Chains A and B, each alone.
Chain A
Amino acid sequence: MTATSQSAEQEPMFGLMQGFSLGTLLLLGGLLAVPMVKFGWARTISDLAPATLIPLLVGLLWLLEVLLYALIAGLLSRNLLVALSGAVLGFITRFVVFLLMGILVSSQNGVEFSETLIGMDGSSWAYRALAMLVTGTMLLLPFRRMLQTGYGLIDAPAPAPSVSRAKQFSFASKAPRTGHYQIVRSAPATPAAPAPAAPAAPRHPVVQPPENFTPAIPRDNVFGTVSVPASVILASVPEAQPFLEAEKPVTIHLAYLVPQLQRCTAWLIWQQIFSAPGGGARPTGEQADAGVRDRWVKISPKYFITQVPREYFEIQRIPPAWMRLPAVPQESQFDDVE
């Protein structure tokens, strides 16, 4: 029996603290703790520590341990609250597990509780190793949950949700709005370069002209002509005011339908306005370069729906499984009216 363990017999709490100091060392050392114990270094530290300094050492180690838990939790979550919670939870978990392991060892070996925590002989090695394993696993659990919910950095490499949301909100609130209509500023003169792999599809797809769009109207995509009130176009393109009379409808070619975007919109090649009845004179020179040509306008489908072949709206429908279930006997219905 070593001097340290003798003192522990005299003062159980003192021995308990020593035990926790060793346990703390094992945890703090991680992998390093295994060879420490294996080669007896930890026992040597425990044995050689002066009895008067041990309480101070234990206190410092506990403080270090809490800071370590807080550091790990903070790094994983980047959240002060989670860091503090992780520190407290980790420390309490380790305390409880070592306490249980100590009780288990003492009850099985018939020795004093403090002895089992300090002693290096017998089967307590296995329990100690088990305690380390269980403690480590339990310490990781809260962090794992954080990772699964997207607050961590390992499974969720995206920036912090709060920052992302703030950016989205800022972008949305500053986006130009023109009533129900949205303007695409200009079509690309050359086909766009292949975009890098996009992350996830946005909830409402960003409206873009087709990739192979050219300003000239492809004949195959012309469905016919449609009469649109000039006010509708002016609502989207106010700078067209000099060329249109708000009272008169404008007959324009229905040039390209993009149903997969928001499916209640259509795109018109706006340059046709100038050659259409009621469209006014086509701007020239600097006026033409000012951005009023090759403009796309989104209009409500109510203006063109009768002009588009019905086949265009035919989509393949696969009914869900619950629609194919057999009828249930005694199905009744609500048809009685007071």
Chain B
Amino acid sequence: MASINYATREINCKLVYYGPGLCGKTTNLQFLHQHLNRGRRGEMVSLATPGERTLYFDFLPVEMAEINGFKVKFGLYTVPGQVLYNATRKLVLRGADGVVFVADSQWDVMQENLDSWQNLQDNLAGYNVHLEDLPYLFQYNKRDLTDIAPVWYMEYLLNARGVPYTEAVALDGRGVFSTLNILCRFVIRDLVHRFETGAF
């Protein structure tokens, strides 16, 4: 749930990058951290194992332009993709305003994509949150590899609601900014809508 500080005129939102292990969530944040202007992003906090596996989560604060006099700040989080860290994933997911589901495009991890997608829905249901109410989108990552599923099949597999998706190669930064932009747009719209309807 976004928090609003009227004194400092700031809106803080939480965006979570979710997906199976080694799908490229941290790579997304690392690219953003490396390529955003310093004035618009803070320092990235990463708790990883020596093998570059996310142990707890990664965090990157970024700042958007003002909207109606309020400065909008996004906290970008990743979750540990490994199956045994579900408690951490659920904890990080708490209070999320938007979710990027990073799916690995390789055929061999299609089942892991499905399992992680199901896991996301289960964890959200634990907070009584449903995807009908939470802005999210898919990022089909690793599109530069050879043994990958076509996008239309991944859409069939995962995207039953027809939400936006992006094709990405997070290592090169392809699709990383567009993913963030699309999600931010929908999160802001949702936020404004909730304000207007008094649901906030």
Contact = CB atoms under 8 A, between A and B. Distances in A.
Interface string B22-37: 0000000000101111
B184 interface: yes
B156 A263 contact: yes
Contacts of A262: 111, 114
Contact of B150 (A204, A305, A325, A330): A305
B177 interface: yes
Contacts of B157: 263-264
Contacts of B107: 300-302
A301 B156 CA distance: 12
Nearest to A203: B118
Interface in B147-200: 147, 149-150, 152-153, 156-157, 159-164, 177, 180-181, 184-186, 188-190, 192-193
B185 A313 contact: no
Interface in A293-321: 300-302, 305, 310, 313, 315, 317-321
Interface string A58-74: 00000000000000000
Given A320-B132, A325-B189, A334 B181 contact: yes
A321 B189 contact: no
A331 interface: yes
A322 interface: yes
A333 B181 CA distance: 5
B64 A334 contact: yes
Given A262-B111, A333-B181, A335-B181, A318 B65 contact: no
A121 interface: no
A331 B40 contact: no
B61 to A, nearest CB: 13
Given A315-B160, A337-B35, A327 B114 contact: no
Given A263-B114, A302-B149, A330-B66, A323 B163 contact: yes
A338 B37 contact: yes
Contacts of B91: none
B36 A322 contact: no
A322 B180 contact: no
A264 B160 contact: no
Contact of B160 (A180, A317, A335, A337): A317
Interface string B57-81: 0000010111110000000000000
Contacts of A329: 67
B52 interface: no
A300 B110 contact: yes
Contact of A317 (B153, B159, B177, B180): B159
A305 B148 CA distance: 12
Contacts of A193: none
B43 interface: no
Contacts of B111: 180, 262, 264
Nearest to B118: A203
A175 B144 CA distance: 36
A301 B185 contact: no
Contacts of A263: 114, 156-157
Given A301-B110, A319-B161, A326-B189, A334 B118 contact: no
Given A313-B152, A325-B189, A336-B40, A330 B68 contact: yes
Contacts of B66: 330
A313 B114 contact: no
A317 B67 CA distance: 32
B182 to A, nearest CB: 9
A190 interface: no
B37 A336 contact: yes
Interface centre among A203, A204, A334 (most CB of B within 10 A): A334
A330 B65 CA distance: 8
Given A300-B110, A325-B193, A320 B147 contact: no
24 contacts: A203-B118, A262-B111, A264-B111, A301-B153, A302-B147, A318-B161, A318-B162, A319-B162, A319-B163, A320-B131, A321-B133, A322-B135, A322-B186, A323-B186, A328-B185, A328-B188, A330-B66, A330-B67, A330-B68, A334-B40, A335-B177, A336-B36, A337-B36, A338-B35
Given A263-B114, A263-B157, A302-B147, 17 more contacts: A203-B118, A264-B157, A301-B110, A302-B107, A310-B152, A313-B156, A320-B131, A323-B186, A325-B189, A325-B192, A328-B192, A333-B177, A334-B64, A334-B177, A336-B36, A338-B35, A338-B36
Interface of A: 180, 203-204, 259, 262-264, 300-302, 305, 310, 313, 315, 317-323, 325-338
